[in-house]
Amino acid sequence: MIGLLAPWLLAGTLLGGLPLVIHWLTRARVIPRRFPALAFLLHADAGRARRHRWRDVLILTLRTVAVLAAALAAAGLVWSGAAASGQGRPVAIVVDASASMGQVVAGATAWSRARATAGRMLAQVAGRPATVVVSGLPQRDGGAVATDHGALRTLLAEAELGAGDGDPAGALATAARLLGGPGDLLYITDLSRSALAGVDPAGLPAGVHLELVDAGGGGGNCAITGLSAEPGVVLAGRAVTVSARVANFSAVNQELRVQIRVGAAAHVVPVTLSPGGIGTATMTLTPESSGPHVVSAELAGATGDGLAVDDQRQGVLEVLPALVAVVVGDGDREDPNGPLRPLLAACAAAGLTPHASDSAGLAAELAAGSGPALVITCALADGAVVAPSLDRLLVAGGAWLQVIHSEADAALFEVGGRPTPVRLAARVDVSEQEAGRMLLGQARLEHPLLADLAGQPAVLAALAAYRYRLTPNGQAADAQVLATWKDGSIALAERPAGAGRWLVLNASPAAADTTLAQGEILPLLMHRVPDALFPARSGDLARDVGAWLPGTWSLANGSALAVLDGRVRLEAPGVFRALGGKLAAAAVPALESDLRPIDPGILGLSSRSADGATRLVERRPLWPWLLALAACCLLVEGLLVPRLGRGSR
C-alpha cells in the first residue's frame, strides 16, 4: 500500500508541468515564406528535424519525471503493509515508567496509554527484530532484539509504574546497546520536563535513529517538591523551622492547604499560588529529644491536580543532643602553655561538647559520631596519618578547623587533592619587634565567624602573635581571607572543600605563642564556628527515589531491601531504617512534578502522536529512491542529450 506522510506537500507535483510550460513559452515562432530555391534543402533536413523533435520530447520527459520524483519525495511517499514491516531494521521501544507518567489526562494515565502504544507497535512489527526497555526502578528490558515477541509482550504486561525519574539517558543507552547496530529507537514518554533529562542524541551510536512518541501528558499539577529545616544543624532544646516547598504547575490560581507534621505536632498552613508559582509553608518548633524525627507534609485543596503521588512528602529531621567538636592533637592536653588545653576549654565555654583524640583515633571518632562533624586539628605529630579521615570528613559535608602550631600542621596544605585556603611558609619569630608581638591588622567582622567580636575594638586591638607563619603564596581562588596581621600575612581564612568547609587559623592558641588564648576571644571564635562552617539550612530532608544508601536498610515496617555491593537503592517513597536504628526518607524527585511539556526541538528532536508513531513502524520510506530517480534523470540529460544534439548536425 502506498501512502504519504506529508500529503499537503503533494501540491509540489504541479511543478511537473513547469518544463512543458517553459518549453511552450520559449518555442521558436515559425513564419512560413515561400522561396523556391530552398525546396531541395527542406527535403534534405526532414530527417534531422524529426531527430530534433525526439530530443525535445526526451528532455521534457526527463525534466518532468525529475520534478515529480522530487515532489513525491518531499511529500513523504511510503510503502506500507506486511512486506514493508518484514525483515527490516531492528526496533527498540523504550517505555517511560517515571513518576510523571502517573499523571491523569482525559480519564487515563499516560502510563496506561504508553503501554497500549507499545503493544500496538509490537503488533505492527511482527516478524521484525525488536526489543523493549522499561525505564522504571529497577530498569527492565527484553534482551537483544529478536523476531519472537512473546517475552516482550509479557514484559509489558508485568511492568509497573515507578516513582523515580526513570533515568531516561540510561534507558536509551541500554536500548541502543541492545540494538547492536543501526536501528530505530522509539521513546514513548509524556514529554514532561524530566523526560529528556540527561539525554544527548549526539551520543547515540551511528545509524541509530531516535524518535519521540507523545504518550499524551501535559496536565496541570500541584505538588510538595521539598522539605528543609533551618538551621542546618538541629540541636535538642533549640528552635527549628521546618519548611515545605509547594509548587503550582497548573494554569489557574490555587488556594492550597499544607499540613506539616513533626512527630505528634501538626500545623496547617494556607498557601495561595498563581500559575507557575512556588511558595513555602513553615512550622517552627523546639524538639525536646534528640534522634531522628519523621517529618511529613500533605497537600490538600488543589484543583485539576494531575499527579497524586507528589501530594505528600516525608523526610527525616536529625536532632543532635549537642554539637561534638573532636579536638585532635598529639601534644600534652594538660600543659597550661600548650595549644590543646585552651582549645578544649574554649569549645566547652562555647557550648560545644569537646572530645579529645589523637591522630590514630580520629577515624574511630568520626565513625562513632552522628550528624555533622566538627574536627579541630592542632599540634599534630604526623599530618599524613589524619589526611584520609579529614578527606572523608570534607566529602561528607563536615567542618575542619586547622590550627597551625607544629610543622605537621603546616604540612597539611592539601587533602584529597584540595589545596588549603592559604599556603604557609616559614615560621617567624617577632619577639624582637614591636614590643615582642605582631598585632592584628584587620578583620571582616561582618562574617558570621567573627560576628561576636563586632563592637569590641579593645579586644581586637589586644590580639597579637609572638610567632606565626608567613603566607607568601597568597590564598586559594575560592578562599576568603577573614583576618590578617599588620604585615599582611593571613591570620584566618576559609574555603569550601568537598561538601564541607576548611578553616585555617594561622595563630597558635598556646599561651607562649599568642594572646589568642587569653581573655574571651577564643571562646567567642569557637562559638561561631558551627554557624560559619555548617549550612544555614538543610537542602532537603528526603533523598530522591532511586538514590543509593550504604549498608543494610529496611522499610519502616521491617521488610528488608535488597543489598547490592554493600548498598541499597530506594525504589519507592517512604521512610527507611538502618540496622543501627538510623532513619532516612525517599520522595518523588521534584522535577517529576513539573508536567509542563518540553519542546524536543531544543535537542534537535521531533515527536509524534501515539497513532502516528504506530503507523511509522509499519512503513518503509520511498523518498530515497525517488531522489535517486530525480538525480538519474538530470544525469541522463546532462550526459546523453548533448550527444544527440551533436549527432543531428
pLDDT digits (tens, 9 = 90+) for 18-31: 565 565 555 555 55
Q: List 319's β-bridge partners, or say none.
A: 234, 291
Give the C-alpha distances (Å, rounded to integers) separating 379 from 155, 222, 327: 63, 56, 10
Beta carbons of 587 and 543 less than 8 angstroms apart:
yes
Phi/psi region, residue 464 (left: phi>0; alpha: psi -120 to 50; beta: rest), is beta
Counted residue by residue, the chain has a size of 649
Beta carbons of 285 and 274 less than 8 angstroms apart:
no
Helix (H, G, I), strand (E, B) or coil at 94: strand
Residue 562 buriedness (CB in 10 A; 0-12 / 13-18 / 19+): exposed
CA 391 to chain centre: 25
- Residue 341: is its pLDDT beyond 60? yes
Which grid coordinates are listed for 428? 617567624
pLDDT, residue 23, reads 54
Residue found under cell 607544629: 406
Cα–Cα distance for residue pair 188/608, rounded to 1 Å: 10
Closest-CA residue to 502 (of 371, 381, 403): 403
* Least confident window among 195-199, 384-388, 562-566, 627-631: 627-631
Cα–Cα distance for residue pair 568/15, rounded to 1 Å: 65
pLDDT, residue 40, reads 52
Q: Which residue has the higher pLDDT, 283 or 487?
A: 283
pLDDT, residue 605, reads 85
Q: Which residue has the higher pLDDT, 173 or 89?
A: 173
Tell me: cis bond preceding 231? Omega within 30 of 0 counts.
yes
Instruction: Quick: pLDDT tens for 564-583.
Output: 888 888 989 999 998 877 89
Give whichever of 62-71, 287-296, 363-372, 625-634 has the largest mean pLDDT: 287-296
Which grid coordinates are listed for 271? 498557601
Cα–Cα distance for residue pair 152/132, rounded to 1 Å: 6
Helix (H, G, I), strand (E, B) or coil at 33: coil
- Residue 1: is its pLDDT beyond 60? no
Closest-CA residue to 242 (of 302, 323, 320, 314): 314
Instruction: Quick: pLDDT tens for 371-430.
Output: 668 999 999 999 889 999 999 899 888 899 999 998 899 888 888 888 899 988 888 888
With cut-offs at 50, 70 and 90, classify the pLDDT of residue 299.
Answer: very high
Residue found under cell 609572638: 466
Cα–Cα distance for residue pair 98/111, rounded to 1 Å: 9
Q: Which residue has the higher pLDDT, 390 or 620?
A: 390
Which grid coordinates are listed for 171? 534507558
- Residue 86: is its pLDDT beyond 50? no
Cα–Cα distance for residue pair 605/620, rounded to 1 Å: 20
* Average model confidence (pLDDT) across the chain: 83
DSSP for 571-583, please give it: -SSEEEEETTS-E
Closest-CA residue to 99 (of 23, 228, 197, 213): 197
Across residues 327-354, what is the average pLDDT?
A: 90
Across residues 451-474, what is the average pLDDT?
A: 85
Beta strand segments in 249-321, E: 254-262, 265-273, 278-285, 291-300, 312-320
H-helix segments, 27-109:
39-44, 46-74
Q: Which residue has the higher pLDDT, 354 or 535?
A: 354
Cα–Cα distance for residue pair 420/434, rounded to 1 Å: 30
Closest-CA residue to 251 (of 221, 279, 217): 221
Helix (H, G, I), strand (E, B) or coil at 538: coil
With cut-offs at 50, 70 and 90, classify the pLDDT of residue 48.
Answer: low
Helix (H, G, I), strand (E, B) or coil at 334: coil
Closest-CA residue to 247 (of 215, 271, 282, 230): 271
Tell me: cis bond preceding 138? Omega within 30 of 0 counts.
yes
Beta strand segments in 91-248, E: 91-95, 104-105, 108-109, 130-134, 140-141, 183-189, 208-214, 222-230, 234-235, 240-248
pLDDT, residue 99, reads 94
Cα–Cα distance for residue pair 166/149, rounded to 1 Å: 24
Give the C-alpha distances (Å, rounded to integers) separating 225 from 102, 271, 303, 406, 541: 16, 14, 17, 49, 11
Which residues fall within 8 angstroms of residue 362, CB to CB, at 6 or more apart?
Answer: 326, 328, 375, 386, 389, 390
List of domains in the chain: 2-81+624-647 (no CATH), 91-219+596-617 (3.40.50.410), 222-320+542-593 (2.60.40.10), 324-533 (3.40.50.880)
Closest-CA residue to 281 (of 306, 303, 254): 254
Secondary structure letter of residue 475 according to DSSP: B
Residue found under cell 492547604: 257
Beta carbons of 99 and 165 less than 8 angstroms apart:
yes
> How many Cα atoms sit within 13 Å of 245 on the Cβ side?
18
Closest-CA residue to 533 (of 553, 556, 507, 505): 505
Instruction: Quick: pLDDT tens for 212-249.
Output: 999 988 889 999 999 999 988 888 888 999 999 999 99
**Number of helices and strands (H, E) in the chain?**
15, 38
Q: Name the pTM for this structure.
A: 0.71
Torsion angle (degrees, nearest 10) of CA 443, 447, 452, 456: 30
With cut-offs at 50, 70 and 90, classify the pLDDT of residue 163.
Answer: very high
Beta carbons of 311 and 331 less than 8 angstroms apart:
no
Secondary structure letter of residue 202 according to DSSP: G
